[in-house]
Amino acid sequence: MKGKVIIITGASSGIGKATALKLSKKGAKVLLSARRKDELQALKKSIEKETGEALVVIADVTKKPDMDRLVAKTLEAYGTVDAIINNAGLMPLSFVKKLKTNEWEKMVDVNIKGVLNGVAAVLPTLIKNKSGHIINISSTAAYSYFPGGAVYCATKAAVKMFSEGL
Q: Which of 78, 143, 145, 152 is catalytic?
A: 152
Q: 146: which DSSP letter?
A: -
CA distances from 16 to 100, 124, 127 (A): 27, 23, 25
Please, which residues bridge with residue 85 across strands?
A: 8, 135
Residues 53-69: b if buried by 16+ CB within 10 A, e if exposed: bbbbbbbbbbeeebbeb
* 143 catalytic per annotation: no
Cα distance between residue 137 and residue 118, in whole Å: 12
Give the residue numbers marked as catalytic. 152
